[in-house]
A = this chain, B = another copy of it.
């Protein structure tokens, strides 16, 4: 290890957050001013984890197309030494160094002046009987996705069981149907998509049924049947489902293990604590992406989300700041969208359960409308639900489920949440209108109107 006059930035994690931070730092400081070394335990840098269900489903044919930038690109175009297949095992804040294990064998120590921790989230994987059997797959990394893709190709499984009805779960269920498998989905709650309120989640459950997924709601997986170390069945409280492939979509939690072991503070959400500039409490040590604790702008509570959009923005923020610039990341509002065949599912802000937990008293308005003028060919049907604070009319959250044109409408609500708008503000928004794109009152505005009427009625 040579020690030179210039400073060194070490980045732990070569995905969205870490490599955004590295790239932004490089834009501000040249290779003569800052050496940048990034360690990634998988073989891939900067890939789109959100693209994995589409790779498995056969809509995307080449795993390489999910990789935005390769280690070679980082080396040649950014002068960033991106080392894949190398895992960081420890952070020594006293020596200001990280311990790295390369595959195969070998162990090195790298000193740093600046450190970015961007190790992502770890999947929830309950320790159930048989859980180590082959054929049971998480879906955290591109390697996981390729494993499922190749297993389907090579072993021609007939029965897949998806455990968990969140975004990944429903996207993977559709993908496996596309690949010709019989697919069952087990969800311990009475509805899939717990980020939606139950009556909107029910619309997604219905759509899963239409796609051909056998749904087992309100059932918890208690273990797995195996034979010769391979999974053969999924056991719930109520039944055993045949399975030669099991995909786990049980959510994630921030991976703060390295940080915690080094004595870097984590928060109530389990994520690494950072300020608006992505600084941890240790000088020169930054964290960004799924491993951090985030501030929810509506609940005013610490939260964690594993989302590429947030990871990219936080990485950019960290990189600008450690490169000598100034940028802040104010927080999140919990926006998420997904697609199940032609059904679009979107949400932002707080749902009813979350509003209650945050202590808000609220009104809830649900409307039916269309994505185009009613007389224009093929209008898509939409259900929009809006929550607003009962006393003030302040927007708390929104959910949209529907056909073409549903998902991206959530962005108006997400923007309004950032602005702290009331539903009275929303009504007057000068949103776009032409018959192919919306009714003259956009569904967003119709929902806001109904919520405003409920707020007003409460005042009388």
Answer whether residue A16 sits at the interface, using C-beta atoms and an 8 A cutoff.
yes
Specify which chain B residues have a CB less than 8 angstroms from the CB of A308 in the assembled complex: 433, 440
Specify which chain B residues have a CB less than 8 angstroms from the CB of A430 in the assembled complex: 309-310, 332-335, 348, 414, 417-418
What is the bound-complex CA distance between A418 and B422, given in angstroms? Answer: 12
Answer whether residue A134 sits at the interface, using C-beta atoms and an 8 A cutoff.
no
What is the bound-complex CA distance between A335 and B429, given in angstroms? Answer: 10
Return the CB mask of A395-426 against B: 1 if under 8 Å, else 0: 00000000001011111101111110100010
Closest chain B CB from A65 CB (angstroms): 4
What is the bound-complex CA distance between A45 and B219, given in angstroms? Answer: 55
Given contacts A376-B60, A405-B408, A440-B48, contact A338 B434 (CB under 8 A): yes
Interface residues of A in 418-453 (CB under 8 A from B): 418-419, 421, 425, 427-438, 440-442, 444
The answer, among B62, B421, B437, for a CB contact under 8 Å with A407, is B437
B334 to A436, Cβ gap below 8 A?
Answer: no
Closest chain B CB from A174 CB (angstroms): 11
Specify which chain B residues have a CB less than 8 angstroms from the CB of A339 in the assembled complex: 434, 436-437
Stoichiometry (number of copies): 2
Closest chain B CB from A240 CB (angstroms): 33
Given contacts A60-B376, A375-B51, A436-B339, contact A415 B419 (CB under 8 A): yes
A51, A325, A337, A437 interface centre (most CB from chain B within 10 Å): A437
Closest chain B CB from A400 CB (angstroms): 10
Besides the contacts A54-B435, A335-B430, what 10 more A-B pairs have beta carbons closer than 8 Å? A48-B373, A50-B373, A50-B433, A51-B375, A308-B440, A337-B432, A337-B433, A337-B434, A408-B432, A419-B419
Residues of A within 8 A of B (CB): 16, 48, 50-51, 54, 59-60, 62, 65-66, 167, 307-310, 312-313, 325, 328-330, 332-339, 344, 346, 348, 373-377, 405, 407-412, 414-419, 421, 425, 427-438, 440-442, 444, 456
